[in-house]
Amino acid sequence: MLTTIMEWKKSYETGNTVVDSEHKEIFTLVQKVMDATFTSRKEKVNTAVDFLTSYTLKHFSHEERLMQESAYPDMQKHKAQHKAFAESVGVLVQKINASGETLQLSNEINTVVVDWLIDHVLGSDMLLTVHYRDWQKNNR
């Protein structure tokens, strides 16, 4: 079994309890996908990827509502990042369905999903939650 690579760290916290809770769940789901790919259980991988995909889209929708509500100035850029990620995951799903799990595919999932998620949480999501927090303070 793969050791935990998607361990939640305090440095990933945005300060928005709902967003942080959703991010933690996404990290858990990504770990399940990684574990399933390393055990080469195609049905388990498909189930984990499907759930990760649907949960991530739900989370993106939630973030996009926060952006809309607070007139976030980088909303289009942030939404484009969400769209690009969803498309990348879609390509991975196609590869899983076509060839099953391989070490190369596991590495690609690691690069595409894990790296993107950490970069996105520490970058774009931090900026969004700071903006949203400031917006809430000014609109009470």
Full set of structural domains in the chain with CATH: 17-138 (1.20.120.50)
Determine the average pLDDT of the residues in 101-109.
71
Please give the angle made by the CA atoms of 124, 128 and 134, to the nearest 5 degrees.
150
Q: Which residue type sits at 60?
A: F
pLDDT tens-digit map of 2-50: 444 678 888 888 888 999 999 998 888 888 777 776 666 666 677 777 8
Over residues 42-61, the mean pLDDT reads 80
Residue 34 CA to residue 18 CA, distance in Å, equals: 25
Residue 4 dihedral angles phi and psi, to the nearest 5°: -65, 120
Rounded Cα distance between 95 and 19, Å, is 30
Give the residue from 105, 86, 5 showing the smallest Cα distance to 45.
105
- pLDDT one-digit tens code per residue, 68-92: 999 999 999 999 999 998 898 888 8
The 8-class DSSP code of residue 5 comes to S
DSSP state of 3: P
Q: Which residue did the predictor score with more confidence, 93 or 73?
A: 73
Helices (H), the chain: 17-38, 42-69, 75-99, 103-109, 116-120, 126-138
